[in-house]
Amino acid sequence: MADAHRAARPVIVDCDPGHDDVFALWLAAAHPGLELLAVTTVGGNVPLAHTTHNARVALTVAGVAGVPVAAGAAGPIARELQTAEWIHGENGLGGPELPEPTVPLDPRSATELMADTLRAAAEPVTIVATGPITNVAVLLRDRPDAAARIREIVWMGGSTGRGNVTPYAEFNAWVDPEALAAVVASGIPFTMVGLNVTHTALVTPAVRARLASADTATAVFGGELLEFFCRTNDEVFGLPDGPLHDPVAVAAVAEPDVVARVRTRLDVELAGAETSGATCVDLDGVLGREPNAWVATGLDVDRFWDSIAAAIARLR
């Protein structure tokens, strides 16, 4: 659990819900070590209209009110959007019936909401990104003054090894590698939480039973999400215990030592004929380049699920 003496850390979650993004939002909203200031959405798993609607649904189901939600980029900064209905379903949240959200859509763009939130915050804010990192790249390009107000950026994406959408590229990196390269080059402290770690956050039958035992509206909705997500992960990847990627990045902020991380060199492949979107992580320092990122290398899996279960139990 978070150090009781540590003040809650202010965060913005930038996401593309997506099943695992929903759990990331719930963890950010309910963990006592975090203060969720704003949510921004991006086209990714499914088009922007769906990801934005889904973020509002996720907060509505969990009874999270008063956190502004704004829509951002419909697609990557230099490419066509590629989506992942094969994992998340046509609407991005296959499984449960989606209620009409009562959480309103903020009229500002994601960039405006991020900039306003950063300016108004009493201290530098952490951005947790759980989709293609387009919105953050647009913020840094269009509002360079915002950079000084960002404490760090923690992103779920990439991999130190194999990919999940091509042999070497992870989905979020592959969708918008130019955005990722720009964000890493910004010099703002950056942590990559990639597949090499999130593939240990497996939704086993025991995990599903534990999360369902909360018997709340959030737990029921989450259980229906996980049933669908595990089925598609089984069909597509042969992973019946679907890895719950995105909340690992939130956990890495809420309880920093829940992940092990190393300071290393991270480059992203922009032009490779077969490797576009691959994250090249120089763990052995063979390139001799200046380290430019923190890269997660391990997860305390039991503690991670403890924090997810506690968050769900705290929500409606």
The answer to the question of residue 164 lying near ligand BDR (CB under 6 A) is yes
Token pair in block for residue 179: 């955005």
Catalytic hit among 31, 53, 88, 245: 245
Kindly tell me which residue out of 22, 29, 61, 87 binds ligand BDR, with binding defined by CB under 6 A.
87
**What is the rounded distance in angstroms from the CA atom of residue 73 to the CA atom of residue 314?**
32
Nearer to ligand BDR, 19 or 31 (CB): 19
The answer to the question of residue 18 lying near Ca ion (CB under 5 A) is yes
At 87 the three-state DSSP class reads helix
- Could you give the C-alpha distances from 295 to 51, 152, 197, 200, 261, in angstroms and in order? 27, 13, 10, 15, 5
Q: Do 264 and 282 meet the contact criterion of CB atoms below 8 Å apart?
A: yes
Kindly tell me which residue out of 130, 135, 160, 279 binds ligand BDR, with binding defined by CB under 6 A.
130
Please report, as residue ranges, which positions from 208 to 247 form the binding site for Ca ion (by CB under 5 A). 246
**What is the rounded distance in angstroms from the CA atom of residue 194 to the CA atom of residue 245?**
8
The answer to the question of residue 40 lying near Ca ion (CB under 5 A) is no
The answer to the question of residue 171 lying near ligand BDR (CB under 6 A) is yes
Nearer to ligand BDR, 17 or 216 (CB): 17
Smallest gap from Cβ 281 to Ca ion, in A, equals 20
The answer to the question of residue 14 lying near ligand BDR (CB under 6 A) is no
**What is the rounded distance in angstroms from the CA atom of residue 289 to the CA atom of residue 58?**
41
Q: Do 307 and 27 meet the contact criterion of CB atoms below 8 Å apart?
A: yes
Residue among 129, 131, 137, 39 nearest 87 (CA): 131
The answer to the question of residue 170 lying near Ca ion (CB under 5 A) is no
Q: Do 279 and 266 meet the contact criterion of CB atoms below 8 Å apart?
A: yes
Nearer to Ca ion, 47 or 124 (CB): 47
**Total number of residues binding ligand BDR (CB under 6 A)?**
15
Q: Is 245 a catalytic residue?
A: yes
Type of residue found at 270: L
Nearer to ligand BDR, 24 or 146 (CB): 24
Selection from Ca ion, ligand BDR, none that 84 binds (CB < 5 to 8 A by kind) is ligand BDR
**What is the rounded distance in angstroms from the CA atom of residue 126 to the CA atom of residue 306?**
22
Kindly tell me which residue out of 14, 21, 255, 267 binds Ca ion, with binding defined by CB under 5 A.
21
**At 294, phi and psi to the nearest 5?**
-95, 140
Letters for 224-263 (x = contact with ligand BDR by CB under 6 A, - = none) are ---------------------xx-----------------
**Total number of residues binding Ca ion (CB under 5 A)?**
6
Letters for 109-148 (x = contact with Ca ion by CB under 5 A, - = none) are ---------------------xx-----------------
| Beta pairing class for 266-268 and 279-281 | antiparallel
Residue among 132, 153, 159 nearest 281 (CA): 159
| Beta pairing class for 279-281 and 150-156 | unpaired
User: Where in the sequence numbering do the catalytic residues fall?
Assistant: 245
Residues that bind Ca ion (CB under 5 A): 16, 18, 21, 130-131, 246
